[in-house]
Amino acid sequence: MSGSGGRDAGALLWLVPAGLLGVALAWALTAPNPAAAEAGVRMLADCAGATVLGLAALPRLHERLDPPWRPLAGLAGIWCAAEAAVLVFDAAEVVGAGVRRLDADQFGAYLTEISGGQIGIAVLLGTAVVAGYAALAYRRPESASADLVLVFAAVTLALRPITGHMSQQAFGSVLAAVHALAAAAWFGLLVALALVVRTRGEWAVVLPRYSAAALPLVAAVAVSGLVNGLVRIGGLTPLVSTGYGRVLLAKAAVLAGLLALGWWWRRGWVRQAAEHRVTARASLRRALLEVVVLAFVFGLAATLAVTA
């Protein structure tokens, strides 16, 4: 993307501080027992993975949208590196040592003897496969399959949720997977559009399709998140008496705001864009606003994932 559109798309870098701000708020809400230090790295991994998923899903949104293989490969590489860091943090927490004091034997034992380590290896392999395939696809795009990346990315994103704390509850793994994948698709597709769509005409075609796809995704995120949260905390009182509950409330409040914004934009922005009455730059800026707020939510969610 070039010109003013390219400069505006550069605002996607604000996703990182927005996500870290969500982590910081979550840490404040869990005081005096703040969440694990890996929350920031987990947020970065989740955002990168969701964006990879969104880029790979672009042809499903519209047949004329091809995934940009070069940035997809780069983001998959960032995802892989972030997941490697998450694995180190997880190992340090399980063995009771700080990251700096974690030695090779302890790390090896975690990878081979603990289920969390084995899941981490599978996640790491999944991200490496996606990164490697995308790099090859950049060289030979005519023979590349975005669906293959989409499947690998979706499976990799779902691995940790389906084996986490909710897996011990009835249908917990299913709800956790639905929540993670729906949130990733909601966020990742919009980031992908901000990276790829350049003209008013393109926004006129793809934005209504994204809006139609986002509606069930948002519903899935809301319902699965509500059920998962209430099952985890075991009632309504812990919503204010525990750090986990307070972070959950904050996440629900921001999501409610996003739902209201989505309803308003569906009545205005989406309709006007479909009628070619909104400039490409204006559409890009609105998309950027939503993904920055979603990154903040990802920061809250990443902290929830590592909060006892």
pLDDT tier for residue 5 given thresholds of 50, 70 and 90: very low
296 versus 96: which is more confidently predicted?
A: 296
* 17: confidence class by pLDDT, cuts 50, 70, 90: very high
Q: How confident is the model at residue 173 (pLDDT cuts 50, 70, 90)?
A: confident
Span of 11-20, 35-44, 163-172, 213-222 with lowest mean pLDDT: 163-172
What integer is the mean pLDDT of 26-47? 85
CA atoms within 13 A on the CB side of 187: 28
Contact yes or no for 211/193 (Cβ under 8 A): no
pLDDT exceeds 70 at position 35: no
Domain boundaries, the chain: 1-35+173-302, 36-163
pLDDT, tens digit (0-9, with 9 covering 90-100), for 185-198? 999 999 999 999 98
